[in-house]
Every structure is written in C-alpha cells, then in structure tokens.
Structure 1
Amino acid sequence: KTEAQIAALHRGAVNRRRRIILHHDAALDRFKPSMKMEEVVENTYAFSKDPKSQIDTVMLDVGGGAVPWPSKHMSQISGLQDWFSKGNDFLPAVVKAGHERGLEIFFSYRINGIANLSPEPLKRKRPSWLLDWREDPEPPHDPRIPWDHSNWQTGKKGKWGGDAALWNYAIPEVQALQIEAIRELVSGHEIEGIQLDFVRHAPYLPVGRQWEYRDRLTEFLSSVRAMIREVEMEKGRAILLGVKVASSVSGCHFDGIDIERWVGDGLVDIVAVGARSLEVDLGGFKDIIGHKKVKLYPSHDRHHGSDGYSYPPLRYHRAVMANFWRQKPDGVMLFNFGGGRIDGRAGKKDDSLGFTEFGQLATLRGKEMTYVIQRRAGGHPWEFGHPEDGKFQPWSFANSNLLAVLPAKLGQHGKGLTYLKLDIGELGPKAKLRVLFSDPGSTGDTIPVGSTYYRYGNSNYRVRPLAKSVVNRIESRLNNIRLGQAEVRDDGWLEWSVDVKFLAVGENLLSFRVQGLEAGHTESISIECLEIDVE
C-alpha cells in the first residue's frame, strides 16, 4: 500500500469506537509452558462471555521489566528462557484469540517495569543506565527499599526490592534499547496498536530535573513513532500509538512529559489520562488537543486506588465513571479491574457488572453511586505512603494524587472555615452527605471509636474521634445552603440527609467550620474523608 493509503487506514483506526478500554493486566508473567493454550485464552478473556460487555478494546499489559516474549534485547520472565529459545511463544495465540472475540487488541508497555524480587539480569549488567536515586535530596518513604542500586547483593530486600532499578531515558543507549524492544512487539504481533505507559512506573528521568530533560523523552517518543510508521508500511496496515500519562497537564510537566509537543507534533493517536486518580483534568488536555485527530480516555485504577479507596464497592466506581463521562471523553479506560487472568485465578472482586455499565452514561443512569473527594497518595504504603504517616514522597506526579485536597485542616479559608469542591455526574431522588473528621486535640467524651476505619483495601489506620461537645458546633453548608444537625454514626462518621435540590450536576461547593473553640484547637481538626451517596 502507498503512504496515502496507510494514512487513510490510520485515520480510520483512530476513529474506532472504544467505549471501554480494558488495560488488562492478565498476569502474562505467570505463564507456564505446562498450561493448555485453550485455557489460557479462555481465562484471559473471561469477561467477553457476557454479551452486554461494553469492552471494545483490550490493552494486554506486557510489563516492561522482564518481558513475556522471546526478546533478543530485554530480559525474559523467569523460567521461560529455555522454552523461548526453542522457538516457542504464547503472545500470538493470545492476540489471535482476542480478535476472534471481536476485540481490538493493543499491547501496553511499561516504560519502567519492575521486578518483584530483584532487578532483571540486563539491569544488573547495565547499572550505569539506571536512575540514581541518590540524586534526590529527600530520603525515600520506606527504609526497606534501597532506592539507589548500591546493595543488590545484600539479600536484604523489601517486598518490592526491584523498584530501585528504573531506566534513565535521558541516556541514548536506554532509548535505543527500548525502541528495539518495542519494535519486536509491533512487528512480531498482529496488534492494532501499542500504548507506552508512563504511569507505571515513574520516574524515567533524573529526579528533580525531569522537566529539564523533557526533550530527551520527546526524542524517544518521536523515534518510536517513526519506527512504528516503518512497520505500518511493511505490514500494510495501521498501528496506533498511545500514551498513558499523569492526571493533569501540570503533572505531565512535573514528570518531564511535554504533552503539548507530543500532541502538536503528531506523535500520539491516543492519550490515556490518570491512573489511581478519581479526578482528571480532561479540560486541560482537550485544550491542547483541540481539533487534532487524537483520542482522549480518562483512566481509573481499582487496585492502586486513591488513599482509602482500593477495591471499594461498585457504587464508588460508578460515580467516577459518571464524572468521567460528564466531561465528554472519547471513552474510558479501566486498569486492574480483573476480567480474567491467564492462570484462571479469580480477582479480589467480580467486576463483570461494571463492564456492562461503565461504557456510557445511559447505562450508569439510575444506579446507586457514591461520590468522594480523593485523598493524597495511596496505592500501597510501599508506593506513596499515607498522608498522615509522614512518609509521603513525591518523586513523581503520576500516581501520587499530589494536588488532592484531603486531608484538609479546618481554617484554610478563614477562622475555622474550609471550602471543598465535589463533582457529581448524576443525581437521584435521595442523597446523604458523610464526613469523617479527626481531632488530635479532642478531650472529654468522644464519639464512637470502635470502627473509625475508613480505608478500603489497604492497611487501615484509625483517626482520632471528635469530642461530643464539638459535634454540635460544626456548621456545614452545601452550595451555601446551611444543613441541619449531623447524625453521628456508629463508625465515627457524621452524616447529613440532603435534599437533592441542594445538589448540582457538576461542581458543588461545600464548607465546614467549627465555632466557639479555644484558639488553635479548630485548626487541629481535619476533614479526612467526604462522600455523598446518591440513591
């Protein structure tokens, strides 16, 4: 085909319908030659058995550390080297099975993959190609993890000891290595495209100088784009290039991603925004994209959640999706939402119902939802810590929820007064506002403490409950309408029944203040969590 014909095919491919993109971590690194291939593909695409599924595209996560294909350039996953050396492979069969189920198939390649037990052999061989965390002036949050690569041989590693070994993309040799690895993926498999995941795991440029080195990362992406165009001509069909980046434009800059140039220079076809983020700045990315032929997909991660919201009930995810769709994206992306693993192991939760709802606002409408204000950090304690544990370390913006407003001390906007904004995508006939406060200075009788756990999924931490005398002094307003007296729940949350007429679709402004306390006490009280149930 001619270049013009390929360009036309490429434009058509960009415009395919993608209601839900399942960024599918199907545990490809768990493959064993003893597995039956028909069971592998059935397990991988377990979600596709439901005719109501709204998943149009699957991005198979192929990692980026030790890789699950017979690579001539990258370290291969443990236990498969001999099997691969005999000409065996399993990814082509997985891709073919996806096509047979009517799915568009991408690979998602982590720009910086990790090895759970120790750095891959190639990283041990090329330590000068890795980021040196000692350049970061602040110590890391978790002393179990040697963030520099000075003591690989000690054997005293944390659970995720290999996290230390991250490629430095400011080095030309790293770029050349990765381009050849990506070439293997796109030329050796009949996929519709590849996503470069700049979220799992950051950083990828020298810490504290990421924006300074942004042109290096742009050069890398430009080279990948040029290589893929060559493969398109060789194969005579379209191969799309997507990127997964931080939840906001400023967050991209923090991480060294010049998203304006990436879009403006035509380097990408698809931009996925966010990861664990419950809130994404789609407006900022839309301003950059304008009328360019680039598709935009907000992404939500069930597993590495905003602090306190790892594996919450389905109603929480519905609210995130409703807020996404209210901003008019081209579709939505789900990560770590199950759907099937190659080894057949079940996920922590059954997400099959969400796969039939998340793909359009019409199928979300009328369902129970819980809207929340996200908290900083989260994921796992080993990753970013919790806001109150003093270990929060922003070496990257991606995954950090760095600008999330909770926890929020009272008194940020006047004496004892704090304002908070909450987005609501859909309304229902009934609503309840629920808030969890913490007061380290409380004295005397306090409200219940027995179940003031507020986190889903991750390690649970207690808050210091409010004094009973303080509860009656809390004034709450919703869109400047004063609410009545809160009910104190048995789990330590305060709850207000809310007339839905007080709520707006879109942004809602809430305020809280406590009056009549001694100087300084009010400012010690914090709002830890805020949720609104819409029935």
Structure 2
Amino acid sequence: MLNCKEKFKVLNNFSFIFVLSATLSWNLSSQEATQKTSAAKTEYSELRQQALERHRAIIFNDDGDDVRAYPQDKLPFSIDKFFELRIAKLKDSHVNTISYSTGTFGLFMHSTKVGESMSQPHSTSKYINATSEFIKLKTDPLKEVVKFAHANGFEIWWSLRINDTHDFVHRPDKPWPYWLKLKEKHPEYLMGECGQQLPFGRWSAVNFEYPEIRELLVKYVSEVCENYDVDGVELDFFRHLYLFKKVVLGGQAGDLERAMLSETIQKIHDMTERVSIKKGRAVLLAVRVPDSIPYCKEIGIDLEHWMQKKIVDIIIAGGYFNLNAWDYMVNACRKYNVKIYAGLEEPRIRSYHSKEKEHELLLRRTLLGYRARAAEAWAGGVGGIYIFNEADLNKLRIKRYLCEIDSPEILSTKNKLHFVSYLKASPGNYLKGGVQYRNLPLLTPVTPITLSPQSTLSLPIYLGKINNDKMFGVMFFYSRNIVPSDLTVKINGEIIDFMTRDGDLTSYSVPAKLLKTGHNQVDLISNTSFTLLDLALLLVNDPKESDVELLLKACGKL
C-alpha cells in the first residue's frame, strides 16, 4: 500500500510523462503542419510560375455588353447566337486571353449570392439585357464564356470594374436601370449625395474607407474564383479611378488609405493562392492601373508595395491616359519581376468645350494607329498588349490588327501612323494636381500647341522596331496657319525636306535612315507664330495597301 507521499510522487511522474508525450505530439503535429504549409507554398509557386510563363501576347477585354446590349434582331436568344456576336470571332484572331466582365461593383450577370443579380429586365428599341435569358437556360454568361474559352484554347479571366460610375446619372425620379440596392440602402457608403457635383469624382462611387466595402470586394472575387473555372482575375481600377473620398474632395491618399487597400489586395491574393492549391492550377491576379507609381500612390494604390510583396501577378498599365513612355513602367516592374502589359484604350479625341476634331486623314482609332501604338509598346519592353473598349469585332480594322499586334517583327513590316499623343484625358480629373505626373507632351486637335515667333518646339515621338529595307516616312503637320517657308523641321537633329501642302496638312519627307527604335525627337523652328493642331509620322512599308492611299495622295506620293 502506497502512502500519500509515494502516491504524489507517482502522480507527478505520470503527469510529467503525459505532458512530455503531449508536447512531443504537439511538436510533431506542428512540424507536420509547417511542412504541409511549406509544401503547399512551393506547389503554388510552381503553379503560378507555369501560368505566368504561358504565351499571352494579346489580352482582349470584353466589357459584357454582348449580354447587357443583346440585339433585339437576334431574338429568340440562344447561347450560339450570343457567341456569334463577339466571342466566337476571337477564334480567328491572335488573342490568347479573354478578360470577361460580368458587371460592376456588387451587380453581376453571373450567378451570385454575395452580390446582386443584373437580371432585371431592361430594353431599348434595339437591345435587351439578356441576363434573364441565360437564367432561363439554367446557366449564366460567365459559365458559358469559361467553357467556350477552355474548349478553344483561350486563357480566361474574370474582369471586375472596381468602381464603375456610369450610374452617376441616377435620380429618384429617373432611376438608372442598374442601380445597386446596396447604394440605396447605404448611401453613407457613397462619395456624395445623389446628384452632388464633386471636384475630382462622381457621387455614386463607393468609398473604400469603409471596411464593409473592402470586405465585399474580397467576397465578390472569392465567390467567382471558388465557383468558376477562371484562370485569373483582373481588378480594373481605371473604371473608375475613385477610391477614397478625401481624394475625390481634393486631397491625397495617405498611409492609412494605402494600407486599407493593400490589406484588401493581400486578402484577395491569399484567397487566390488557396484556390490555386485546391484546384491544382494557378489563378492569377492582374490589376489595371495608371502608368505612374507616384500618381497611383496619391489616389491610394501602393503599387510598389504590391509588387514588392508579390501580391499581384500582372500589371496592365494605362487607360484613359498615359503619363510616361512605356519603358518607365517596364523598368519599375522588372525591378520586382512582375509581368507588365500595355493597356491600349480607345482614343477619345473630342471635347465638350471645343469644336475641333481629328483631321479626317490623321485618325488614331484606325488599323494604322493601333499598329503604331502596339509597336511602340513592344519596343518599350512590355510583355504583351491589352485591348480595351474595342468590342465591335465586325469591323475589319479590329479583325486585322488582332492578327498583327502580337508580334513586333510582323509590325515592323507593316504601315503605321504614329502620333505624339494618342489620348487626351487629364489625370487631373481624378486627382488634384494630377497633371504634374504627366511626363509626355499633350498634342491633339482639342489640346493644340501654339508656337511664338522665333521659337523652337521639341516633341518626342516613339517608334517600334525599324525596318530600313524598303520603308520611308512622311511627317504630317495639321495646322491652318503654318507657313512652310518660315519653318525648319528636324528629326533627331537632321533637317528634313518640305514636300507639299494640301489644305490644312503640310508634309515633310523622312528618310528611314534618320529614324530609330524607341525615342525620336522632332524639332520645329519657326520664324512666325502658328498653332499646331496635330503631328503624325506615317511609316510606309507597303505603298499599295489601301489604308495609306489617301495619305500618300495628300503628300504627293501618289
């Protein structure tokens, strides 16, 4: 029989053995968990790298209007008719990736339990919202596009417009057809009151200062990644660049706002990592943002932090405006080994405050113009081209350039029309003082430049890979009061010869030997004052192509 002292000793021994056993077991479990986590991280890194190395020369953004604006004359509705409108035509192009948008913040055409359905009937004399037609067939647009994409060898992303504000025209007596119930229920989440004019934004945008809004963003993206077989997600910050109320009111985002958004992007990245491991293939995260790190920073996007922490996989630079030559963002992204794509948005050279418009022969939204922009971007070192708002694939020019802009070598053999400026939107529309970050000149018919007497104007013009074998160049000046005899024109320091004047177009001959890939400088030395509305450089490799016929006639080459 053990006495009390002996019993206590035995109990202590048992306790020691139990604690030791539990500790060893916990340590082993902890080690196993750590090993599993490490293995999962390694697996994700490998999956991610494989996905990033995929050939992806052209990304085509489809805004979803093939659903929201389904033509009345294509009724009765069918999935095949839907594909024939737009998506199926991409099979005849060199597009590798489709980035498909199914709505805006909180309002979606795909099946959702987190957001709101865009299934409410809406029609015009020409179009209907076909979301409900998909529902009748027990499917949705995203599900069908994903199936189509994978069946035809495309990579497929889901594109989310972070803060689209086409709904700013909403009024209680004239409601926007797709007005979000969330906005009706929580007007405090918005940048302003209904109809309020704000200095640097629109009242209907959601304010990411609210944790509820940031959490909803994570939930929206998570729902798609978990329920649809997408290869990636594009967060489109350019639609629209309103993130924080203090910026919309004229201030700048601070560390607090940037931390809020960075934490949200981190959560989305972590979610894509978990989903990637679960599915056995990577779900990439792309962001479309302005092409300036300090500009992004002041509106609340800490892009350098995102790259440094590797929480974004692909950056699409550029939208309504471009602030830098392409090599700026290329170098910034290379520093952190992040893929960079050139965002080419459709030019909008028009203004409510000016009657001026592009000269009928110097048009940017053309085959020649898109060839030039893509060639410039490739020469700047981008990893590929992203096309936005060029959805009418029945247009011949779009069909043609989507088969050419994936290769700088092919582009070097094509006719191109290069401009000093392709876009005219102001970065000051979204950020007070935002124009200070523009490091490119702005020259369009609605933003002309006037030269004083006895003055020199120097302008950069960027070119793609130069093919000197057969090519020749013609520089066109669009001006109503230019005096050629009082003007000296140089390209890269060499004087070029006057050719002719045809109406408001004045042309100069540009020998190919004077041109170089990348940056070229044009100097205009004038003895008299004149207003320059536009400047374009035509590079001709095939003078028989119909697209250059009128331009060659204007300069006397035909």
TM-score under structure 2 length normalisation: 0.73
- Residue 313 of structure 2: which of 269, 291, 302 is its match? 269
1:327 and 2:327 aligned: no
1:424 and 2:471 aligned: no
- Residue 167 of structure 1: which of 206, 220, 241 is its match? 206
Matches within 5 A, 1:411-450: 415-427=454-466, 429-437=471-479
Identify the residue that residue 156 of structure 1 maps to in structure 2. Answer: none
Alignment-mate amino acid for residue 515 of structure 2: L
Structure 2 unaligned spans of 5+: 1-35, 122-130, 171-175, 352-357, 541-558
Identify the residue that residue 94 of structure 2 maps to in structure 1. Answer: 54
* Deviation by residue 1:402-426 (Cα, 9 ceiling, x = unmatched): 85432464559x9522111111114
Whether the 8 Å CA contact 2:91–2:152 is kept in 1: the answer is: no
Q: What displacement does 1:219 show?
A: 1.7
Identify the residue that residue 360 of structure 1 maps to in structure 2. Answer: 407
Q: What displacement does 1:165 show?
A: 1.0
- Residue 69 of structure 1: which of 110, 115, 120 is its match? 110
Whether the 8 Å CA contact 1:26–1:44 is kept in 2: the answer is: no
- Residue 373 of structure 1: which of 413, 416, 420 is its match? 420
Over aligned residues, Cα RMSD in angstroms?
Answer: 3.3
Whether the 8 Å CA contact 1:303–1:310 is kept in 2: the answer is: no
1:121 and 2:208 aligned: no
Alignment-mate amino acid for residue 45 of structure 1: I
- Residue 509 of structure 1: which of 499, 518, 521 is its match? 521
Looking at structure 2, the residues matched to 86 and 262 of structure 1 have their Cα atoms a distance apart, in angstroms, of 41
Q: What displacement does 1:224 show?
A: 1.3
Whether the 8 Å CA contact 2:451–2:457 is kept in 1: the answer is: yes
Looking at structure 2, the residues matched to 258 and 330 of structure 1 have their Cα atoms a distance apart, in angstroms, of 22
Looking at structure 1, the residues matched to 299 and 219 of structure 2 have their Cα atoms a distance apart, in angstroms, of 24
Give the helix-richer structure, 1 or 2.
Answer: 2
Alignment-mate amino acid for residue 379 of structure 2: R
Identify the residue that residue 478 of structure 1 maps to in structure 2. Answer: 491
Q: Residues 304 and 174 from structure 1, CA distance in 2 versus in 1: closer, same or farther, beyond 3 angstroms?
A: farther
Looking at structure 2, the residues matched to 372 and 272 of structure 1 have their Cα atoms a distance apart, in angstroms, of 22
Per the alignment, in what secondary structure is the counterpart of residue 96 of structure 2? Answer: strand
- Residue 343 of structure 2: which of 276, 281, 299 is its match? 299
- Residue 192 of structure 2: which of 116, 129, 132 is its match? 132
Q: Residues 277 and 317 from structure 1, CA distance in 2 versus in 1: closer, same or farther, beyond 3 angstroms?
A: farther
- Residue 8 of structure 1: which of 41, 46, 67 is its match? 46
* Deviation by residue 1:194-241 (Cα, 9 ceiling, x = unmatched): 010111111212223343222222122112112222322333331111
Matched length = 455
Alignment-mate amino acid for residue 23 of structure 1: N
- Residue 104 of structure 1: which of 139, 144, 155 is its match? 155
Identify the residue that residue 204 of structure 1 maps to in structure 2. Answer: 243
Q: Residues 30 and 411 from structure 1, CA distance in 2 versus in 1: closer, same or farther, beyond 3 angstroms?
A: closer
Whether the 8 Å CA contact 1:420–1:511 is kept in 2: the answer is: yes
Per the alignment, in what secondary structure is the counterpart of residue 6 of structure 1? Answer: helix
Q: Residues 89 and 498 from structure 1, CA distance in 2 versus in 1: closer, same or farther, beyond 3 angstroms?
A: closer
* Deviation by residue 1:38-92 (Cα, 9 ceiling, x = unmatched): 2223434233332xx3211111122314321232233322335798599643321
Structure index of larger Rg: 2
Identity %: 22
1:317 and 2:370 aligned: yes
Whether the 8 Å CA contact 1:277–1:306 is kept in 2: the answer is: no
Structure 1 unaligned spans of 5+: 135-144, 150-161, 341-345, 379-383, 386-391, 438-464
- Residue 45 of structure 1: which of 87, 90, 115 is its match? 87
TM-score under structure 1 length normalisation: 0.76
Per the alignment, in what secondary structure is the counterpart of residue 22 of structure 1? Answer: strand
Q: Residues 303 and 377 from structure 1, CA distance in 2 versus in 1: closer, same or farther, beyond 3 angstroms?
A: closer
Identify the residue that residue 405 of structure 1 maps to in structure 2. Answer: 442
Alignment-mate amino acid for residue 49 of structure 1: K
Identify the residue that residue 457 of structure 1 maps to in structure 2. Answer: none
